[in-house]
Structure 1
């Protein structure tokens, strides 16, 4: 009888232990499901933890920068890192691209992003504003505020502004004024300018995914080339 009771206690303890482990696992999985941005945040934090001798190049943008629909190593910031590594240049690329990001959203999360030192800040925002018909004055104001905050944080940070254009079906006057935002801001603030980030990619079906907006892996290679044309000038100086 004592043997039976001992076996029962052992079984009950084992069962309760297994149940608690299972519940804890479920809790962890639920927490992961309710915090979809935690992996993205952790990735940025890990990217920022680099040696003091390495300078950070921060790509701040939307789904184009994030590499929507592709593996992370196919996005143009990752291709830039490969280029830098091949030249033995001590720079660390941080991809802070966020799909769906607008200039207002970018301005809102900027303080957190700038907690890390940034040597070169590449600003790629505005396309989602245009696609949503955001007033142009608002887009311009938000981009200017981002530029101001970056310089207030560190006047030595070099800023590269990535120029964007919109499809003509949105409206001739709106698209023309939108296109002009970037060179005018670059001139006003004495910034480096990528005239059009998607040069030789936009409008070409074989270089874009099914949505006709986001570049394929091959398209990203061309985007990386467009970025490198300007970035190498900054690095060489």
Structure 2
């Protein structure tokens, strides 16, 4: 299950062109027994995610959750402690439901000040270390600083960029599936 914001909810692009749909195709070709549920909402904040995670887990019962939240908080200058606390609460709920978590790291443009952007960026590896979860260090790695990969708003990746996001996520997600497959294989 993908639990995110507009970066995962196909903002400004066709649903079938979004990275979640492209990831679904890739997953089906490698691990046909799995499907992806996109529980992302444009504009979602970490507090909004925290408030709806329990109900979403109970509805879908995912084995793996790709947690992609925090960008909207950062763009609004939310308190670092609040962002961390909300993401930690979401991770804890997922773990209570025996779901593996893959956290998608985010970065902010430098105009938010060096101190804030560094503290924001540090949230994601800190959470990954503290909760022993997998991390995509930066969801937009490889193109986040290139304007040609963004829609006119300069914030949301365009259709070309979606394939790059899939590569960033797949690199880590694939290892999680391989580990699950090995763990599920009976020993002779």
TM-score by length of 2: 0.92
In structure 1, the gaps of 5 or more residues are 1-57
**Residues 42-53 of structure 1 correspond to what in structure 2 (within 5 A)?**
none
- The structure with the largest alpha-carbon Rg is 1
Structure 2 residue corresponding to 1:84, chosen from 27, 31, 39: 27
Q: CA deviation at 1:89?
A: 2.5
**What residue is the counterpart of 1:112 in the other structure?**
55
How far, CA to CA, are the matches of 2:81 and 2:119 in structure 1? 10
Q: Distance in 2 between matches of 1:163 and 1:213?
A: 16
Tell me the secondary structure at the aligned position of residue 121 of structure 2.
Answer: helix
The match for 1:27 is: none
> Is 1:186 matched with 2:186?
no
CA distance in 1, matches of 2:9, 2:143: 17
Shift of residue 117 of structure 1? Answer: 1.2
How do residues 199-218 of structure 1 correspond to structure 2 at under 5 angstroms?
199-218=141-160
- The 4+ residue runs of structure 1 with deviation greater than 6 A are none
Going by fraction, where is helix more abundant, 1 or 2? 1
> Following the alignment from structure 1 to structure 2, what is the Cα–Cα distance between the partners of residues 235 and 113?
22
Within the candidate set 59, 62, 72, 1:128 is matched to: 72
Shift of 1:86: 2.1
What RMSD in Å do the two structures reach over aligned CA positions? 0.9
- Per-residue deviation, residues 67-86 of structure 1 (Å, max 9, x unmatched): 10011111111111110122
Match status 1:169 vs 2:111: yes
Q: Does 1:150 align with 2:150?
A: no
- Structure 1 contact 202–213 (Cα < 8 Å) conserved: no
**Alpha-carbon distance in structure 1 between the residues aligned to 2:132 and 2:32:** 25
**2:156 matches 1:221:** no
1:63 maps onto 2:6 in alignment: yes
Give the length in aligned residue pairs: 178
Distance, in Å, in 1 between the alignment partners of 2:85 and 2:152 is: 32
Task: Report the CA distance between 1:88 and its aligned residue.
Answer: 4.7
When normalised by structure 1's length, the TM-score is 0.74
Distance 1:162 1:210 in 2: 23
Verify the 8 A CA contact 1:203 1:212 in the aligned structure 2: no
Q: Which has the higher contact order (CA 8 A, sep 6+)?
A: 2
